[in-house]
Structure 1
Amino acid sequence: MTENDEGVRLQKALANAGVASRRVAEQMIAEGRVRVNGTVVDALGSRIRPETDMVDVDGIAVQFDQSMRYVMLNKPTGVVSSMRDERGRPDLRRYTDEFEERLYNVGRLDAETSGLLLLTNDGDLSHVLAHPSFGVTKVYIAKVEGRVSPQSIASLTRGIELEDGPIAADKARLLDASYDSSLVELTLHSGRNRIVRRMMAAVGHPVLELVRRQFGPLHLGTLPAGRSRELTKIERGALLTLARRDAETAPPADQENV
């Protein structure tokens, strides 16, 4: 019987996935830090099937499929969240052509919104994270018209009525304010179309500029506009852990447009 028939030794699979050297992986297993399909496995002779078994180390998911690629893009304004725009506007192909894999965007940002957009060829992960009901947290910084008052910030978190129903921010805070404009940070898990722009307009402060700084466990950091980078091992693990949490119960995916 071949190794493929029996599966792969757990420590070897972890080493091949870049988690740690085989010796360190053996120590992790012996310390009870590794789970397979939700069950702690501490026997060094244990074997798994990487193509089907779900493994996590210290609660962080491990990706064994090395063909999967995860890229963070700081989408600039003026670019539509599409791989081919029917109207000929600048689209995402300029940022994906350098990769051998066919990458697709997870969710959308409207053309005039900049910031963090995830590109991947992992269809299962994309399916889960893109659906509004999954409730992935997103953090936005909005430059808006006028001086935002504490009462307006309270209204955003208390809830406001829009044409498609009530909505409330998970968090809202005023970062800066001058006579004619303000900076507001909004944390939301809603995937409704252009929701940040509509919420701010509803409290009397139309959006002038909008950037998404965070998507789930991913942070834009200092990545310049128009640049991309592959996720780190830690970021991939955090993202996969989030995606696996409700993957089996997530309904069919829709796309947002903020």
Structure 2
Amino acid sequence: MPADPRTDGPSTGAGGPERLQKVLAAAGVASRRASEELMAAGRVAVNGRIVTEPGTRVDPTIDEVAVDGVAVQVDPGRRTVLLHKPTGVVSTMHDERGRPDLSRFTARFEERLFNVGRLDTDTSGLLLLTNDGDLAHVLAHPSFGVTKTYIALVSGAVRPQTLARLRNGIELEDGPIAADRVRVVPNGAASGATLVELTLHSGRNRIVRRMLDAVGHPVRELVRREFGPLKLGDLPVGGTRDLTAAEFGALAALARRDRPGR
């Protein structure tokens, strides 16, 4: 885990300390000269402390570096990839039954990536692949309450009273559940069906399908559009991309917020 920013300064121990401006340049923040200017302006922090001295050394595998308050991914060994998982693909790196799995999407990456959580075989949408165990723990563990937003095509016309039931909570066989937010997407479906946008933080198995089935609107199609601060956007089905600097910063802020003792 990174050093505690309340008590620790930049790392100077074993593990490959490098000049901060070199680390920032390697991370794509700016050139070394421009990085020195950022530091001189008081815009760079290491483990929560502003660093202005250009000779400062940091360990990219341990120290937390931020520019203008936004965390920067400086560890070249860590990678997080956003995948638009297609339907028909199981959320595992190897399927003993020979079904299509996630290995086809990770083969081109040098790092050994694993999936954060899962999507049902018949559900498409945003799935994260990473080798960052700390980040995966924050995003996947139910105690952190990371929200996920889904778009569901359901049978029938969904009435306002049904939306209220989903917000207020319904009882399922494994306990009560309530949507954080739910709404009908206007003009989003043909006659006899409705598009519903539903946000919740539960990670229970097939929870969206079970919730909508319980209120009389079976799901025909389901896609996850958002996972915490991340959005699927226009990434094509089966496509992958690295996180942007802003997305990494948002995830790092989420991890710091939920880290015990912070």
Task: Tell me if both proteins adopt one fold, taking TM over 0.5 as the criterion.
Answer: yes
Mapped pair 1:170 → 2:170: no
Mapped pair 1:244 → 2:256: yes
Partner of 1:155: 165
Mapped pair 1:105 → 2:103: no
Mapped pair 1:228 → 2:228: no
Unaligned runs of 5+ in 2: 1-11
- Secondary structure of the 2:136 match is helix
- For the 8 Å contact 1:148–1:177, the answer to whether it is kept is no
Note the C-alpha offset of 1:192: 1.3
- Secondary structure of the 2:126 match is strand
After the TM superposition, which parts of structure 1 deviate over 4 Å for at least 4 consecutive aligned residues?
Answer: 2-6
Partner of 2:6: none
TM-score, normalised relative to structure 1: 0.87
CA RMSD, Structure 1 to Structure 2 (Å): 2.2
TM-score, normalised relative to structure 2: 0.86
- For the 8 Å contact 1:76–1:113, the answer to whether it is kept is yes
Partner of 1:62: 72
Mapped pair 1:200 → 2:201: no
- For the 8 Å contact 1:147–1:178, the answer to whether it is kept is no
Instruction: Mark the CA change 1:3 to 1:135 in structure 2 (over 3 Å): closer, same or farther.
Output: closer
Note the C-alpha offset of 1:178: 5.1
Output the amino acid matched with 2:176.
Answer: P
- Secondary structure of the 1:115 match is strand
- For the 8 Å contact 2:149–2:225, the answer to whether it is kept is yes
- After superposition, what is the alpha-carbon deviation per residue over 1:6-35, rounded to whole angstroms, capped at 9, x for unaligned? 943322322222112223322322333222
CA distance in 1, matches of 2:176, 2:30: 47
Output the amino acid matched with 1:234.
Answer: A
Unaligned runs of 5+ in 1: 250-258
Mapped pair 1:32 → 2:70: no
- Secondary structure of the 2:96 match is coil
Identity within the alignment, %: 67
- 127-136 or 75-84, which moves further after superposition? 127-136
Instruction: Mark the CA change 1:170 to 1:212 in structure 2 (over 3 Å): closer, same or farther.
Output: same
Note the C-alpha offset of 1:196: 0.6
Instruction: Mark the CA change 1:9 to 1:99 in structure 2 (over 3 Å): closer, same or farther.
Output: closer
- For the 8 Å contact 1:146–1:178, the answer to whether it is kept is no
Higher relative contact order (CA 8 A, sep 6+): 1
Output the amino acid matched with 1:209.
Answer: E
CA distance in 2, matches of 1:9, 1:84: 41
